[in-house]
A and B are shown apart, each in its own frame.
Chain A
Amino acid sequence: MVEWYAEQGWTDGLPVVAPTRDKVDAVVQALGGDPDASLMRVPPRWGVLTQEVLAVNMVMAGCLPFYAPVVRAALLALGEPTFNLNGVQATTHMAAPLLVVNGPVRNEIGLNSGAGVFGSGFRANATIGRAVRLVLLNVGGGRPGELDKSTLGNPSKYAFCIAENEENSPWAPYSVEQGFQPEDSTVFVIATEGPHSVTNHVADDAEGILDSIVSAMSTIAHNNAVTSGSCAVVIGPEHAATIGAHGWTRHDVRSYLWLHAGNTFEAVSFGHRYGTVYNRHLPRWYRRTPDERIPIVPSPDDIHLFVAGGTAGRFSAFLPGWGHMTSPVLRSLDDREAPDVLCVDGACQL
C-alpha cells in the first residue's frame, strides 16, 4: 500500500503512512466530525479540501489526531486571499509557507520551540508541516516541475513548522503583540525562504546583535530587495536575553532593523546596467537615486519577529519573504470560518 501511494505520485518522495479507515476516522473525529464538510479549495488545482481529505493527508504525513486543529487552522490561514497561496505554490522562487504556532497548544501537543527548532526530531513539528505540504501537493496540485514551478525548491517543502519559544523570551508572544490573549492558540503563516543564520558571539548590547541581523537583511539577493513585502526574524534566546536586558521592546527591535537594513538604489537597480525597468515593483515613495537607501520592507510592521531556538548559542535567523505579492496571515485555532473567496466553476478568484 505504501508503494502504491508512491506510484500514484501522491507523496513528497518519502514513504507515507497508509491511510486506513480507523486512522482517518480518528482524525475526522478530532476535527469535530462531519467528514464531508468543505474547508476550502486549494490552488492552483483548486481541489476541494474536505475534513476527510484533510484527515487522509494528515494520516499519510504521520500526524497524531490531536494535531488536527493546528493543521486545519494553518490551511485556512493559507487559504485567505491575502496570502495568495496560488502564487506561493506556483512561483519560480523558492519560498514556502512557514508555520509559527503560539499559545498553550504548543506544549499540549509537543511542538518544539527550543533547540533545533527549524530542524528534525519532533513528531508534531515534522508531521504538521508535512501534512500541510501533502495537502498543497495532492489537493493543490503543487507538484515540482508541474504546477510548482520553483526553480530550486527548498528543504522547507518537506516540513516547515515551528513554535515560538514563549518561555525563554523577554517579550510577550508574537500573537499577543498582534492582539491575541496569552491563552489563545494561534497559527501564523508567512511565505519565506529558509532561515539565514546570523552569528554574533561578540556583542553584549542590543545594537551589536541587531547590526548582525541588519547585515543579513541588507543584500540584493533576496526577493524583498526587489519586490518588497514582508519577512521574518527569529531571535535566539541568548540574543533575546541580551537585547531584553537592555530594555529593548519588540517595537524597538523591529524599528531598528527596519531603519538600518537596506540596499542602495544603485545596488538594487544594478546601476541601470540592464535598463531602467527593474525598479517597477518597489513602492513609489522610494526615491530612485543612486545613494538612496531602499528599505528591505516598507515598514517595521512588515518584520515579523519571533523568539525561538535553544538556550545555548548566540545565533538568530533572518527569513526573507517572497515579496509584496503575498501577505502573512495570523489565525486563531478557534476560528473555523472558511476563507471568503469567490469561486466559480471550480476555480477561485485570486
Chain B
Amino acid sequence: MSLTTLPSGETVYDPRGVVDAVDRPLAPRRAELSGARVGILDNSKWNAGSLLRHTVALLEESAGPFGEVRFYKKASFSSNAAPELITEIAEHNDVVLTAIGD
C-alpha cells in the first residue's frame, strides 16, 4: 500500500514504491594490498583502460607490490558484466578495481 500517515494525522500517497532488498553489509576491508591478486575491470568507456591501469600502477607504488594483476573488460559500459565474467573475476582475484563515468 502506498498510503502513509503523516505526524499530523493526514494520510497521503507515496509515489515512490518500495525497494525490497535484503540488507547486505559490505565485505570486510582488506587489511593491506601487498601480495593481493588485483583484478581490473575495464567498463569499455573510451579512456577507462588508461585510467585504470595508471591508477593500479600508482596504487602498487604506495600499497604494493601486488601478487598478480589481471585485466578484464565488459562487453558494454551500459550493461552488467556477464555472469561468467564476474564468476571468473571472483575466482582469480582478491580485490577488483573498476570505475564508472565518462
Contacts and interface: CB of A to CB of B under 8 A. Distances in A.
Interface stretch (B9-17, B32-40, B54-62): B9-17
Contacts of A1: 10, 12
Interface stretch (A41-49, A157-165, A288-296, A329-337): A41-49
A10 B20 contact: no
Given A47-B16, A87-B78, A277-B47, A345 B21 contact: yes
A241 interface: no
Nearest to A10: B15
B19 A53 contact: no
Contacts of B47: 277
Interface in A320-350: 324-326, 345-347, 349-350
B80 to A, nearest CB: 5
B17 A50 contact: yes
B24 interface: yes
Contact of B19 (A60, A326, A346): A346
B44 interface: yes
Given A325-B76, A345-B22, A53 B44 contact: no
A56 interface: yes
A349 B79 CA distance: 8
A139 interface: yes
B3 to A, nearest CB: 8
Contacts of A346: 19-22
A56 B13 contact: yes
B2 A52 contact: yes
Contacts of A4: 12
B71 to A, nearest CB: 16
A56 B14 contact: yes
B26 interface: no
B31 interface: no
B18 interface: yes
Contacts, number: 78
B27 interface: no
Interface string A59-101: 1100000000000000000000000101100011000000000
A309 interface: no
A49 B13 contact: no
Interface string A15-41: 000010000100000000001100000
A224 interface: no
Given A4-B12, A84-B78, A280 B46 contact: yes
A278 interface: yes
Contacts of A280: 44, 46
Given A84-B79, A87-B78, A53 B2 contact: yes
Contacts of A156: none
A327 to B, nearest CB: 11
Interface in A269-285: 277-278, 280-281
Q: Which 5 A-B pairs have the closest CB atoms?
A: A346-B21, A47-B17, A325-B78, A87-B78, A19-B13
19 contacts: A1-B10, A35-B1, A36-B1, A42-B17, A48-B18, A50-B17, A52-B2, A57-B15, A59-B13, A60-B15, A87-B78, A92-B102, A138-B16, A139-B15, A280-B46, A324-B76, A326-B78, A345-B24, A350-B78
Interface of B: 1-2, 10, 12-22, 24, 44, 46-47, 76-80, 102
